[in-house]
């Protein structure tokens, strides 16, 4: 059975915060979750780096203004308050 990080000794999980949650979602299920669409067309939010409004359309997405990386985990994607920010120095490769 594959591990999604919610059990065992791995750190992080779907209820992590900040960069830890972003990294967890990026790696979940071999990276397949990160590019999957958030249900119902996404979540309206404001960038936690620059304050720009945008829609988080995939589970890991970036602010169109500053490139700030944000994520939400599937079990918590029903509320924009659960979106986490990786920090101003985190960039997607």
* Percentage of the chain lying above the pLDDT 70 cut: 88
CA dihedral (37, 42, 48, 50) in degrees, to 10, reads 100
- What is the Rg, in whole angstroms, of the alpha carbon atoms belonging to the chain? 12
Mean pLDDT to the nearest integer, 70-90: 97
Of 44, 39, 47, 45, the closest CA to residue 77 belongs to 39
Domain positions in the chain: 18-85
With residue 22 as reference, give the H or E element that holds it.
helix 18-27
Q: Is the pLDDT of residue 2 over 50?
A: no
d(CA 11, CA 18): 13
- Output the pTM of the full model: 0.86
Q: Is the pLDDT of residue 16 over 50?
A: yes
At residue 91, the pLDDT reads 87
């Amino acid at each position: 059975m594959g591990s999604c990080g919610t059990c065992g000794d791995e750190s992080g999980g779907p209820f992590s915060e900040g960069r830890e949650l972003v990294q967890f979602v990026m790696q979940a299920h071999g990276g397949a979750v990160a590019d999957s669409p958030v249900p119902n067309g996404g979540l309206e939010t404001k960038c936690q780096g620059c304050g720009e409004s945008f829609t988080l359309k995939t589970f890991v997405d970036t602010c169109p203004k500053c490139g700030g990386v944000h994520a939400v985990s599937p079990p918590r994607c029903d509320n924009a308050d659960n979106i986490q920010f990786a920090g101003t120095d985190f960039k997607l490769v």
